[in-house]
Amino acid sequence: MKKILVVLLTITFATSVFATSGRTNSAGCHKSKTEGYHCH
């Protein structure tokens, strides 16, 4: 049971880290409706 929980948390964390629309400029920055202009 513990192993399944660890795997699910790892997958959730990994996908949220890379969650972006993909539309970034050459510097890795973009405009967000909620955060304004920011870089990753």
Domain residue spans in the chain?
A: 1-30
Report the pLDDT value the prediction gives residue 31, as an integer from 0 to 100: 85
Dump the DSSP string for 1-40: -HHHHHHHHHHHHHHHHT---S---TTSEEEETTTEEEE-
Report the pLDDT value the prediction gives residue 14, as an integer from 0 to 100: 63
Q: How many whole angstroms separate alpha carbon 30 and alpha carbon 9? A: 28
Report, as ranges of residue numbers, the positions in the chain whose pLDDT lies below 50: none
pTM to 2 decimals? 0.38
Report the pLDDT value the prediction gives residue 17, as an integer from 0 to 100: 54
Query: Residue 17 is encoded by which pair of tokens?
Result: 């880290």
